[in-house]
Amino acid sequence: MRKPHKDYWKASQRKSEKFKQFQQKLGIQFNDEKLLKQAFTHSSYVNEHRKKPHEDNERLEFLGDAVLELTVSHFLFKKYPLLSEGDLTKLRAAIVCEPSLVTFANELEFGQLVLLGKGEEMTGGRMRPALLADVFEAFVGALFLDQGMEQVLQFLENIVFPKVNSGAFSHVMDYKSQLQELVQRNTKGQLEYKILKEKGPAHSKEFVSQVALNGDVLGTGEGRSKKEAEQLAAQMALMALRQQTE
């Protein structure tokens, strides 16, 4: 019969090897590996190993949440100089929400590294969305403490920001904002919206709008309000411009 301390030592060795491979994969070497392991330590694990000097990741999660908010806000502020505060807020919320963080965590296989108590493990905690999102925030917090903001930004530039650049979150921006951003990025031209006509009785009016870029009409739209007509015109313009670049 094997002694418990030998089993614990072997399990500890396996965990250390996993964390070593994880750092090699990311190209990040923690100065304090205790911080790295803490980021992946769930409270259920700590509760079952009270005789060992473990800390859970809840405080790191708190810090990582704030670091993510700041770094993503700064990135969006620079990338989209013409977006309103409201659109920036919606876009940031889509990037740092639980489903997005879970996607990032799964791509990096964070679930394989999480240290869980037996009960949490048996109930599928390793793949629980809220847990994975928390671990991603905790990892960012640990990375910030270990190596500072510059390394956090490098990590996000490899994992998160490319998805923003590819338009993965553009669905949360309205069509006018998307068109403005596309034009700003590619042509630097001037967009102009114009209501071409109003039709129908006062209680049921319809509006026809067009949007032009440097005088060239890109799209027209018809809606029950000026705002709706402009949005539909911007949608048509987006479709036309994207077809040109395909």
Give the residue numbers annotated as catalytic, written as ranges.
65, 137
115 touches 45 (CB < 8 A) = yes
Gap between the Cα atoms of 9 and 15, Å rounded? 10
Nearest to 54 by CA among 115, 120, 10: 115
Measuring CA to CA, how many Å separate 3 from each of 7, 8, 9, 162? 7, 9, 10, 49
Which residue type does 229 have?
Answer: A
Beta strands in the chain (DSSP E): 191-199, 206-213, 216-223
